[in-house]
Structures are given as C-alpha cells and as structure tokens.
Amino acid sequence: MIAIKSSHSVEKSIINKLKKGPKGKIIFPSHFPLIGTPTSTRQAFKRLCDKGILIRLTHGIYLYPKVDESFGIIYPTIEKIAQVIAKRDHARIIPTGTYALHKLGLSTQVPLNIVFLTDGAPRSIKIGKQSIKFKKTTPKNLATKGKISSLVIQALREIGKDNTTSAQIKKITHLLQNEKMGMVEHDARLAPVWIAKILLGALNEH
C-alpha cells in the first residue's frame, strides 16, 4: 500500500528541496511532481506563502525570494518570468510591440502589458500591475536567430513603414553592429521587404 503524504510532510519536502537551490528562483508546483497529491501540494504552497518562505506572484507561479539588505526582496523582471514560463512549456518566445522598442532603446516608455510571440499556448497572465500576453504566431516569425535583429524586426513592425524616422534607422544601424553579419543576413530573409532593406543596409556599415 502506498502511503499518502500529508500536506505538512509535503511542505517539509518542498523546503528541503528549495534549500538545495539558489534563492531568487521562480517556482512552479510542477517542479515537485512526486512529493504529494495536487491537493496536499497546493496546501503546502499556501502555508509556505503564509510563512513568507515563498511569494505568490500569480496563480501557479511562486518566488523563492532573495532579500537584499538595502533594497529588500529582489523581484524578477516580467521578461524573466516570461522566459521561465516558456522554458517550462518548451516554447519559444520573442518580445514584440512597445516592449521590443523599449529593449532597443527606441522608446523610454516601459509598457505595463508585454506581448511575446510564441509557438506555445496563447494566454494572458496578470502579475501585479503588469501583464504578460503570449500570442500564437507562425513558425516563420520565430525562426530568426539574432537576438538584436529579432528585436529590430518586431520594433519596426510596431513603428510601421511610413512612421520610421531617419534617427530611428541610424540607431538601429548602430545596434546591429553588435550582431553577427550572418545572423542579420539570415533574419533579413524572414522579414518584410522594407525591414529587410534596413537590416541589409546596416551590413554596409560593418
């Protein structure tokens, strides 16, 4: 007969496993599949949150907090949370929209609602005042290789062909100097024609 662990023994098992890893880590109940039943695991997570050992970021997503003496609890960025979710789900993601502009320094606005293209399940997740939206897209949009050139494509899509300024193109050209030429050439073949011209034009500045 298989013994069923109580939520208290499940709690101890979770704590022991947490102590073996670094603080500041994002935790999912799925990280503990063999520790107890879904109900006992959920109850254990609730008690760990009540004790301050874990912090509930949103439904099903928790933080094993790292505390800095000066700044207090160090919370992960919204992008870090998105990356960890994508890793758990074995999905690819690319920042898009105003967040792509912000990451490239083309906008000082920090968006509250961040959109990622993904080949995983589409969903929206609310975390505090911010939200993450995973938007299903085609494999072609996720086939880019360059970290910078991928962002450039999404940023330019957000700006629009007729709204792109010479200052923005100059900034993008400068940023692409830090990307490998082969990756820029590869990603240009996946971009709309007007964006491809900007990407390939940057190669002449190498």
Across residues 44-48, what is the average pLDDT? 94
75's tokens: 């919370």
Across residues 44-59, what is the average pLDDT? 94
pLDDT, tens digit (0-9, with 9 covering 90-100), for 75-128: 999 999 999 999 999 999 999 999 999 999 999 888 889 999 999 999 999 998
Write down all domains in the chain, each with its CATH number in brackets: 7-72 (1.10.10), 78-203 (no CATH)
What pTM does this model have? Answer: 0.85
pLDDT value at position 143? 95
φ, ψ for residue 176, nearest 5 deg: -70, -10
Per 3-state DSSP, the chain is made up of helix, strand and coil in percentages (nearest 5) of 50, 20, 35
**Cα separation, 52 vs 46, whole angstroms:** 10
C-alpha R_g of the chain: 21
**Cα separation, 64 vs 143, whole angstroms:** 33
Asked if 54 and 27 count as a contact pair (C-beta separation under 8 A), the reply is yes
pLDDT, tens digit (0-9, with 9 covering 90-100), for 149-161: 999 999 999 999 9
Instruction: Please name which of 91, 100, 176, 77 lies closest in space to residue 142, comparing C-alpha atoms.
Output: 91
Residue 55: Cβ-neighbour burial (10 angstroms; 0-12, 13-18, 19+): middle
Residues 6+ apart with CB under 8 A from 65: 23, 24, 52, 54, 55, 73, 74
